[in-house]
Amino acid sequence: MKKLLRNIALLLLPILLYYGIFIMFEPNNYFGLHKAAAGTDIMAALRNYEDAPTDALILGDSRLAKFDMQLVGSIANREYANLAYGGASLNEQLDILDWAREQNPQLKQVVFMLSFYNLNQAYAHNRMVIDALNNPFVYLTNLGYNINMLTELAYTITGVPTGGDGETMNPTDYTYVDFTVPATGQTVTIRQKIASHLGDINERCQNWALNTGELQRLLQTIDDCQQQGIEFIIVMPPAHPDTFLYVVNPYGINGPMQTVLAQLKQSPALLLNYEFEPLHPLRDDQFYDCFHLDMKRGLPQWTEELFTDIQNGGQT
Amino acid sequence: MSSAASPLPALLAAANGNWHMSFQSIHFLLFLPIVVGAYFVLPVRLRKGWLLVASYYFYFFAAPKYLVLLLAGTLFTYIIGRVIGSAKTARAKHGWLFLGIAGSVLVLAFFKYNGYLQGFLSNLSVRFGLVYSTSWFTTAAAMGISYYTFTAIGYLIEVAQGTAPAEKNLATYALFLGFFPSVSLGPINRANGLLPQLTQNNKKFNPQAAANALRLIAIGFFKKLAVADTLRLFVDAVYASPEALAGYTGLSLTLAAVLFALQLYFDFSGYTDIARGSAGLLGIELPENFNTPFFATNFSGFWARWHMSLSGWLQDYIFTPLVWSRWTEKLPIIGKKIKKPPVLSSIFVVFFISGIWHGDTLCFAVWGILQAVFRIGEELLHRTLGKPQKKPPLFSRIGKTTLVLVLWVESLVFFRVGMMRAGTVSDALAALARQFSEVSYSATINDVYRAIWNGFYNQRPLVLAFAAFMAVCLAAALWADWAQCFKLKGKSLANGIAALRPVPRWFVYFFITLACFAAFIAQSGGFGGASFLYGGF
């Protein structure tokens, strides 16, 4: 019997070791063992919301996750819970919204990010955020969180500081590279950060197809929110013009997106479209990469613009 | 009663949510050691009750809606069994047996074929303006109903024939039908096999037997998680819908057909290994279901090695009685001319029943008929050319095995299309016809890549790593099957691993453990993940 148990323990040793590493490097500070989360600490944000729900919410991916919440509060004159986090998919955002509505029936406003990128059929991963919040087994065994942890581990081993370079860069430090556009085969010289991000976006969008199921779910949620008296604001964040030149247009994503935009305009939601119809186009140096704004030169300006537009009900 | 006062709604939510029970769930991995540990710690008189409670706990968390059905089926067949056992005349025994079988089959048919009933009622309601709601008869397949119904019918027949005694103890009988390792997908137990083991509860924990049972469980998890579930990504993408199926080129359709045959085998044989291993930890032996069927050289051999508990059941309770009854002689007009026992026609009946047992669409019936055609054709060949050699030359053996495999793989196209929503025989025929029409290696590689990209993770390095993992695990599983057939001569693979020298043995242990762990993470711990393929039958 002892021998059997010893052998089982020996076999499980690598798995236990792996989970030791997992707990050390998981970027969401799920177990509360780190001083601060390396990532966007969605678990802590959800727990905070559970304890003290606010009447306004921000949902989205990394593009909305890095707002300066003090600045947001000073412009909007209300407290938002920012439940946006890196790589959030549309179905994950909707799952969190369903949960948030259950947690707080008095919810008044939702700022909900939408983009051609998360409307892509192939970008429908599900990290079961709410289930993971309540069940550590879901968190420990979820593929997405395991990949997040391994990425964090790789950053540590290779010496890349967590959080990269803080997503800000001086134009004098820009490096330029030749980039072959996969969709057309043409070679262009563009900023290295843009080129590298375009490669990732291209990989995910080359077979772009509209996720009609999640779009229908979104439209239904908008109707439900209206009946519940919740103001629903759809924010389509700005994207670098090269994203349109080298991915969106060559792959014909623009056409189906115009149909989606027409549907959204007919819905009761307020649509703030900085992606396809930017009212105040941003400069190249205000973008850190294709989707993310420079934390010093771009994001504060857009934050101000966005929450002023929300205050004004979309009238600028 | 309010939901706050009753724990039932919370339990139901847990059973349908993250605490859903299946062999590949964390819930089961926690449940099994507790059940086994407590079984050997408890006094002997409490052990059977403990196993029954554990079995019903398992069933509740796997399929809470249908626990009542299992209980009702248990009570019904228990009473019938007791009445048959105490009946004085053969006529009375047969009458009660008929009632028991008819009642069980009717319930089984209702839960398996209620789609047809819905269609019939819907037509009636349209024609006569009746009020009818489809929700009255909307039922999912009740978990394990096909398996425990066949187990119960087999028991009633044995009792009526006097080859097994009627079980007097209701708890023992309830455990016989609801025993957690076999309740969901078999193996289909026999009265003389399992019932006597359930009454011997004074066993002591045997570390050596437990180690062997754990090896079997580990092999089962490897087959299921690392092989069948990885192959599933491509197979499910190709057979997603009739429209999707029509969009693939010939080579992709052929590859999907081959991979489905492998997926089905490793899924179901993996399940069986976990079931047998789990029972083995309790010192209980369940029947085998598979014995390297892909190396059979003829169809009779194949069916003697594939889903053996079902094949044996069909043989003993349908085929043999049919042949002995000489039912063809009782047919009108042609009956008088038939003088031989109806072997071939009974083979046809058995395979047709096997087909419709698997599913309620025409595709499954066609699949069953094809098996009958292969088996009858083989029988006729043997009658014409004489029985085949016991040890044929190598090339002849390879040729025969390949032919059996090709026919099996192609017939399974009907089976897999039958599992698709709205899949029809013409979809299956079209897929078969197009298999050799367009052969494009690049299109097939792209199809595999896309299936992994969409079904696993959308990042190139991870897609390639997954493909490599899939190839390595499949190769290892096929090699193990080959070794079991030719090196171990059909003996258990678990025993074969135990007999290895320490270094290769521990290499195999670590390989299986880490591959299972990687595959478990790849499907996010089974939360909201895949179930066993045969769970739907």
Using the beta-carbon criterion (under 8 Å), do A4 and B521 form an inter-chain contact? no
What is the Cα–Cα distance from A184 to A308, expressed in whole angstroms?
39
Average pLDDT of chain A, as a whole number: 91
Residues of B in contact with A207 (CB under 8 A): 450
**Of A123, A131, A146, which has the smallest distance from its Cβ to B527's Cβ?**
A131
User: Residue A59: phi, psi to the nearest 5?
Assistant: -125, 135
For the segment B230-245, what is each residue's pLDDT rounded down to a tens digit? 999 999 999 999 999 9
Give the mean pLDDT of B195-221.
94
For residue A31, the model assigns a pLDDT of: 86
Closest-CA residue of A relative to B205 is A1
Question: Is residue B328 within 8 Å of B337, Cβ to Cβ?
Answer: no
For residue B337, the model assigns a pLDDT of: 77
Question: Is residue B514 within 8 Å of B226, Cβ to Cβ?
Answer: no
pLDDT range class, residue B333, cuts 50, 70, 90: confident
Asked if the C-beta of A141 comes within 8 angstroms of chain B's C-beta atoms, the answer is: yes
Residues of B in contact with A7 (CB under 8 A): 211
Lowest mean pLDDT among A11-20, B108-117, B217-226, B512-521: B108-117
Handedness of CA B140, B146, B151, B153 (dihedral sign): positive
Within B239-249, residue ranges assigned H as helices are 242-246
Give the mean pLDDT of B115-125.
67
What is the Cα–Cα distance from B479 to B511, expressed in whole angstroms?
14
For residue B285, the model assigns a pLDDT of: 96
Q: What is the largest CA-CA distance in chain A?
A: 75
Query: Is a pLDDT exceeding 80 seen at residue A38?
Result: no
**Of B457, B523, B528, which has the smallest distance from its Cβ to A147's Cβ?**
B457
For residue B201, the model assigns a pLDDT of: 83
Residues of A in contact with B450 (CB under 8 A): 207
What is the Cα–Cα distance from B432 to B407, expressed in whole angstroms?
12
DSSP E strands, B266-388: none
What is the Cα–Cα distance from B253 to B249, expressed in whole angstroms?
6
What is the Cα–Cα distance from A225 to A234, expressed in whole angstroms?
13
Percent of chain A with pLDDT over 90: 71
For residue B269, the model assigns a pLDDT of: 96
For residue B3, the model assigns a pLDDT of: 42
For residue B536, the model assigns a pLDDT of: 53
Closest-CA residue of A relative to B454 is A122
Chain B residues in contact with chain A using a Cβ-Cβ cutoff of 8 Å: 17-18, 26, 205, 207, 210-211, 214, 450, 453-454, 456-460, 462, 509-510, 513-514, 517, 520-528
What is the Cα–Cα distance from B24 to B325, expressed in whole angstroms?
44
Between B118 and B441, where is the model more confident? B441
Run of H or E including B285? none
For residue B381, the model assigns a pLDDT of: 92
Closest Cα of chain A to B25: distance in Å?
Answer: 10
Percent of chain A with pLDDT over 70: 96
Closest-CA residue of A relative to B462 is A147
Using the beta-carbon criterion (under 8 Å), do A141 and B525 form an inter-chain contact? yes
Cβ contacts below 8 Å, chain A against chain B, sum to 70
What is the Cα–Cα distance from A226 to A269, expressed in whole angstroms?
8
Lowest mean pLDDT among A149-153, B100-104, B271-275, B505-509: A149-153
**Of A4, A121, A138, which has the smallest distance from its Cβ to B18's Cβ?**
A138
Run of H or E including A140? helix A136-141
For residue B2, the model assigns a pLDDT of: 42
Using the beta-carbon criterion (under 8 Å), do A8 and B214 form an inter-chain contact? yes
Tokens of A62: 């990394």
For residue B117, the model assigns a pLDDT of: 66
What is the Cα–Cα distance from B325 to B327, expressed in whole angstroms?
5
pLDDT range class, residue A39, cuts 50, 70, 90: low
For the segment A134-169, what is each residue's pLDDT rounded down to a tens digit? 889 999 999 988 998 998 898 888 876 555 557 888
Give the mean pLDDT of B75-95.
96
Cα separations in angstroms, B41 against A3, A208, B45, B46, B200: 19, 58, 12, 10, 15
What is the Cα–Cα distance from A189 to A246, expressed in whole angstroms?
12
Query: Is a pLDDT exceeding 60 seen at residue B454?
Result: yes
Query: Is a pLDDT exceeding 70 seen at residue A36?
Result: no
Asked if the C-beta of A209 comes within 8 angstroms of chain B's C-beta atoms, the answer is: no
Closest Cα of chain B to A8: distance in Å?
Answer: 9
Domains in chain A with CATH codes: 42-127+167-311 (3.40.50.1110)
Query: Is a pLDDT exceeding 90 seen at residue B528?
Result: no
SS3 content of chain B, % helix, strand, coil (to 5): 75, 0, 25
Average pLDDT of chain B, as a whole number: 90
Query: Is a pLDDT exceeding 60 seen at residue B535?
Result: no
Query: Is a pLDDT exceeding 70 seen at residue B103?
Result: yes
Chain A stretch 144-173, residues whose beta carbon is closer than 8 A to a beta carbon of chain B = 144, 146-147
Closest-CA residue of A relative to B510 is A11
User: Residue B90: phi, psi to the nearest 5?
Assistant: -60, -35
What is the Cα–Cα distance from B463 to B452, expressed in whole angstroms?
6
Asked if the C-beta of A180 comes within 8 angstroms of chain B's C-beta atoms, the answer is: no
Using the beta-carbon criterion (under 8 Å), do B457 and A143 form an inter-chain contact? yes
Best to test chain B binding among A10, A118, A138, A143 (most B CBs inside 10 Å): A143
